[in-house]
Structure 1
Amino acid sequence: MRTIPMLLLGATTLALAACGGAGGSTEKQLGADPHLPAINQYLVPPMHVAPVGSWAGAAPTVAPGLQVTALATGLQHPRQPYVLPNGDVLVVESSGPGTEPIKRPKEIIMGWVMGYAGAGAKGGNRVTLLRDANGDGTPELRSVLLDHLHSPFGITLVGGDLYVANTDAIVRYPYVTGQTRITAPGVKLTDLPGGPIDHHWTKSLTASPDGRKLYVGVGSNSNITENGI
């Protein structure tokens, strides 16, 4: 009857010894001269890519008593939803500008992997408006509010102004409650860092509670400073 506990204890000891040998104690991995475990390098990284699902017979699994239904389908790479005060839902359809040059063979492989995961889908470069007036989960109205944008992502409403963060600029459009199509030309508020190397192209956008300031998130042009910080 003592065999199992002793085997478990032995396995635990071996596991702890293996952890200690890889990189030492946690304390030694901190400070100005950290002792870190050796880097594992692979010609092809041993990673798995989750298959892209669709609404054709598939849906997320939720808790009992709840269900998930599609509010809209057929969108071109939807990236960001935004709910207006009147309940209209804006959907930003977008993808990267595709201006980044290919410098290394691994970037070709990375592009293939991201494409397999759905990241390479062509975006609509537009903002679509959905209106579900009776709240039954099925929009009675679907309209293109804005189009011909440049890889948009962030969006926010401040008073009568709708701000859109393209990948290279923030643009302001006049908006009236209930409006389903904006035809007025946008006014560029400011430029943002953009291509040709536009590594993290999505620019998030939000406003301060009093509406006096806009905050935009700009990612680095690198993952490991290969293009600088």
Structure 2
Amino acid sequence: MKQHTIHGGAGACLVPTLIFAVLLNACGERAENVDQYGAEPTLPAPERGLLPSMKIAEPTPWGNQLPTVPEGYTISAIATNLKIPRQTLVLPNGDILVAEGKGGNAKPLKPKDLIAGYIKSKGTTSVESGNRLTLLRDGNGDGVYETRTVYADKLNAPYGLALVGNKLYVANQDALVRFDYQEGATTASAPPVKVTDLPSEINHHWTKALAASADGRFLYVGIGSNSNITERGMTAEIDRAMIWEINAETGARRNYATGLRNPTALTIQPGTGQLWAVVNERDEIGPNLVPDYLTTVKEGAFYGWPYSYWGQNVDDRVRPQDPQKVAAAIKPDYALGSHVAALGLDFSDPAMGARYADGVFIGEHGSWNRDNPVGYKVVFVPFRGGRPGGPPVDFVTGFRDADGKTRGRPVGVTVDPRGALIVADDLANVIWRVTPVL
């Protein structure tokens, strides 16, 4: 695959004086890959330094500006002043549910973890966690969502959403719960019922992605690792870095696929029933390692974490090594680029227009650890014959300006079959709606 490389000067690392000393050589000359995608990305040699290069995403208001969309499309903000919107769900009657909140309770292990936490915090909202579901309704179909209610509150960092018949499933950071759903209702009729507990101790990666099987019998939950590469020991990683399959009725569960460092969004491919995921890979071995990826999720498969990446490329930082696990590791389907932080995934629909009818939309939250930032946009990956069939295409951009200030960070993306893409922005606390111009 063709690689385009630029050579940057010293990176700007602006941090409080008290922690400046530990940075030392973090700001140096680096070569950064601009495009690294597809089924066979070129992987450079790992870079082992004191710290990754860092770039703070300094927030700035949108003001009267809007994100940029392709010619023939328009974008509007249909909800503002939310409390950290993460994922959305379009209900059968066209209502939109928004999961709002932020979780996690992991404590830093080393000075570099403290720095990383500081950098990440600079690119996040100061708004408190909503811990709720908000319902948006466009009563007359004019694209203005004039009704807004709190559908359910007192949740614990809700993230993944799925509707099966009249059962609404919500993946909190600590448990999968279920509501009885009644079409047209603007609030839940009763508190949720717990289906099963989910791993939440430490919770380095707290998000719990969710998708329902095509027949509704099973729920798939993505559970991220408790570290970058097992710094807290393997005991902290029990039942993590994997996707669970849960019986929707009984709550019984099993490990469906493993070795996925942080599966942040799941979806089912229409017509095939195939489960797909986007996964955030490991840090601290260079700006071009390791590519975050889009992949089919194969039952019983092992995807490498922590022992290897992109198939059988050994990560020699991990102790103890496990050659048998490395030999069993399979390659993902499609690289998205290193550190783009893909957090949203949904298959398109012909109602989105001919150019974007067959493929997936992916919300890329954006990097914090590259001199040349990547992500901060929604991309479209075209499919051919049911598989990724070309390079990603920018679909919603403008979240980061030329001065390095960040107006928004896309998370969940949901296709409304009526002809719209719904994008959650957890920095500006906005829900964006992109539609073709008819």
Please show how residues 30-109 of structure 1 align to structure 2 within 5 Å: 37=45, 39-42=47-50, 45-97=52-104, 99-109=105-115
**Unmatched 5+ stretches in structure 2:** 1-43, 238-438
Equivalent of 1:204 in 195, 198, 209: 209
Q: Counterparts of 1:77 and 1:164 in 2: how far apart (Å)? A: 16
CA deviation after TM superposition for structure 1 residue 59, in Å? 1.7
Give aligned-pair identity as a percent. Answer: 50
Contact 1:146 1:181 in 2 (8 A): yes
Which structure shows the higher helix fraction? 1
1:161-217 superposed Cα distances (whole Å, 9 cap, x missing partner): 11111111111111110010114121111111112x101111011111111111111
CA deviation after TM superposition for structure 1 residue 37, in Å? 4.4
Greater RCO (Cα-Cα under 8 Å, separation 6 or more): 2
Q: Specify whether residues 214 and 40 from structure 1 end up closer, same or farther in structure 2 by C-alpha distance, changes over 3 A only.
A: closer
2:404 corresponds in structure 1 to none
Secondary structure, aligned partner of 1:129 = strand
**Unmatched 5+ stretches in structure 1:** 1-35
1:169 corresponds in structure 2 to 175
1:136 corresponds in structure 2 to 142
Q: Specify whether residues 103 and 46 from structure 1 end up closer, same or farther in structure 2 by C-alpha distance, changes over 3 A only.
A: closer
Contact 1:95 1:121 in 2 (8 A): no
2:49 alignment partner AA? Q
Contact 1:71 1:138 in 2 (8 A): yes
Q: Counterparts of 1:42 and 1:120 in 2: how far apart (Å)? A: 29
Q: Specify whether residues 173 and 210 from structure 1 end up closer, same or farther in structure 2 by C-alpha distance, changes over 3 A only.
A: same
Contact 1:170 1:191 in 2 (8 A): yes
1:110-152 superposed Cα distances (whole Å, 9 cap, x missing partner): 2211111116653200000000122222212000001000111
Q: Counterparts of 2:183 and 2:217 in 1: how far apart (Å)? A: 20
Q: Specify whether residues 199 and 68 from structure 1 end up closer, same or farther in structure 2 by C-alpha distance, changes over 3 A only.
A: same
Q: Counterparts of 1:41 and 1:48 in 2: how far apart (Å)? A: 16
CA deviation after TM superposition for structure 1 residue 56, in Å? 2.1
CA deviation after TM superposition for structure 1 residue 48, in Å? 1.9
Q: Counterparts of 2:64 and 2:207 in 1: how far apart (Å)? A: 30
1:178 corresponds in structure 2 to 184
Q: Specify whether residues 54 and 78 from structure 1 end up closer, same or farther in structure 2 by C-alpha distance, changes over 3 A only.
A: farther
CA deviation after TM superposition for structure 1 residue 95, in Å? 0.3
Q: Counterparts of 1:83 and 1:157 in 2: how far apart (Å)? A: 9
**Root-mean-square deviation (Å):** 1.9
Q: Counterparts of 1:144 and 1:39 in 2: how far apart (Å)? A: 47
Q: Counterparts of 1:81 and 1:53 in 2: how far apart (Å)? A: 24
Contact 2:54 2:119 in 1 (8 A): no
Q: Specify whether residues 38 and 80 from structure 1 end up closer, same or farther in structure 2 by C-alpha distance, changes over 3 A only.
A: closer
Contact 1:94 1:153 in 2 (8 A): yes
Contact 2:55 2:119 in 1 (8 A): no
2:228 corresponds in structure 1 to 223
CA deviation after TM superposition for structure 1 residue 158, in Å? 1.0
2:229 alignment partner AA? I
Contact 1:126 1:149 in 2 (8 A): yes
2:197 corresponds in structure 1 to 191
Say how many residue pairs are matched. Answer: 191
2:57 alignment partner AA? A
2:306 corresponds in structure 1 to none
Q: Counterparts of 2:56 and 2:148 in 1: how far apart (Å)? A: 33
Pair member with larger Rg: 1
Equivalent of 1:125 in 131, 153, 157: 131
CA deviation after TM superposition for structure 1 residue 47, in Å? 2.5
2:85 alignment partner AA? P
Which structure shows the higher strand fraction? 2
Q: Specify whether residues 218 and 38 from structure 1 end up closer, same or farther in structure 2 by C-alpha distance, changes over 3 A only.
A: closer
Q: Counterparts of 1:119 and 1:220 in 2: how far apart (Å)? A: 24
CA deviation after TM superposition for structure 1 residue 109, in Å? 1.6
